[in-house]
Amino acid sequence: MNIFRRRDNLYRRILERLLLPSGVRINGDRPWDIRVKNESFYKRVLRDGILGLGESYLDGWWTCDQLDEMSAKLLKSGLQNAYEKKSCRIFGFLRSKIFPLGRLRRAFEVGRRHYDLGNDLFKNMLDKRMIYSCACWEGARTLEEAQENKLDLICRKAGLQPGMRTLDIGCGWGGFAKFAAERYGAHVVGITVSQEQAGLAQENCAGLPVEIRLQDYRDVNEKFDRIVSVGMFEHVGHPYYRTYMETVNRNLEEEGLFLLQTIGSNRSAEKSNPFLSKYIFPNTMIPSIRQIGEAMEGLFVMEDWHNFGTDYEKTLLAWHENFKRHWPGLEARYGERFYRMWTFYLLGGAGFFRARELQVWQIVLSKKGVIGQPEI
Output the pLDDT for position 4: 53
Is the pLDDT at 96 greater than 50? The verdict is: no
Per-residue pLDDT reduced to its tens digit, 124-180? 999 999 999 999 999 999 999 999 999 999 999 999 999 999 999 999 999 999 999
Name the helix (H) or strand (E) containing 167. strand 165-169
Q: Where are the domains of the chain?
A: 2-84, 104-366
Output the pLDDT for position 357: 95
Helix (H, G, I), strand (E, B) or coil at 256: strand
Residue 206: alpha-carbon gap to chain centroid: 28
Output the pLDDT for position 103: 54
Give the chain's mean pLDDT: 91
**Arithmetic mean of pLDDT, 249-262:** 98
**Arithmetic mean of pLDDT, 285-310:** 97
- Higher pLDDT: 282 or 331? It is 331
Going by C-beta distance under 8 Å and a sequence separation of 6 or more, which residues neighbour residue 24? 32, 33, 34, 70, 73, 74
Q: How many CB atoms lie within 10 A of CB 56?
A: 22
Contact 283, 235 (CB under 8 A): yes
**Arithmetic mean of pLDDT, 294-307:** 97
Going by C-beta distance under 8 Å and a sequence separation of 6 or more, which residues neighbour residue 10? none
188: DSSP letter: E
**Its pTM surpasses 0.85:** yes
Per-residue pLDDT reduced to its tens digit, 333-351? 999 999 999 999 999 999 9
> Half-sphere exposure (CA, 13 Å, Cβ side) for 335?
6
Is the pLDDT at 271 greater than 90? The verdict is: no
- CATH for 104-366 is 3.40.50.150
Alpha-carbon distance values, 134 to 112, 114, 174, 212, 311 (Å): 22, 17, 16, 22, 7
Output the pLDDT for position 94: 36
CA distance 280 to 263: 15
Q: How many CB atoms lie within 10 A of CB 134?
A: 28
pLDDT band for position 71 (cuts 50, 70, 90): very high
**Amino acid letter, 324:** K
Output the pLDDT for position 182: 98
Helix (H, G, I), strand (E, B) or coil at 361: strand
Contact 287, 241 (CB under 8 A): yes
Shortest CA distance to 260 belongs to which of 231, 238, 288, 283? Answer: 231
Contact 195, 173 (CB under 8 A): no
User: In angstroms, how far is the first alpha carbon of the chain from the final one?
Assistant: 68
**Range with lowest mean pLDDT among 63-67, 83-87, 193-197:** 83-87
Q: What angle do CA 53, 80, 20 make, to 5 degrees?
A: 85
pLDDT band for position 90 (cuts 50, 70, 90): very low
